[in-house]
Amino acid sequence: MTRLDDLRRMREARFAAVEKKQRADSVTNNPPAVARISVTPKPGRGRPKTGKALSAAEKMRRYRARTKAAGERAKG
């Protein structure tokens, strides 16, 4: 037998096992597992977003401006 024959036989055996399990489940009428879904929405955290997100350079520029302004307020 060649490697392809071995692979084909393994694949057919895997599908047969899945079909057998599906038939067994349908005979016993077990309902499929259903994931529970939360009905209530999660509350939003923080301030709502307005506009598009800042780039890393813009965030750094604003951060430096804030810290500089806070330092000047502390001195004077």
Predicted TM-score (pTM) of the model is 0.33
Please report the pLDDT score of residue 38 as a whole number: 66
The string of pLDDT tens digits covering residues 4-52 is: 888 888 889 888 888 887 776 665 666 666 667 666 777 777 777 778 8
pLDDT category of residue 3 using cuts at 50, 70 and 90:
confident
| 36, part of any domain | no
Q: Is the dihedral of CA 17, 20, 24, 30 positive or negative?
A: positive
pLDDT category of residue 60 using cuts at 50, 70 and 90:
very high
Counting the structural domains of the chain, the total is: 1
| 17, part of any domain | yes
Please report the pLDDT score of residue 66 as a whole number: 92
| 1, part of any domain | yes
Q: Which residue has the tokens 């999660």?
A: 42
| 25, part of any domain | yes
| 19, part of any domain | yes
| 50, part of any domain | no
| Range(s) of the domain holding residue 21 | 1-30
- Which two three-digit tokens encode residue 1? 């037998």
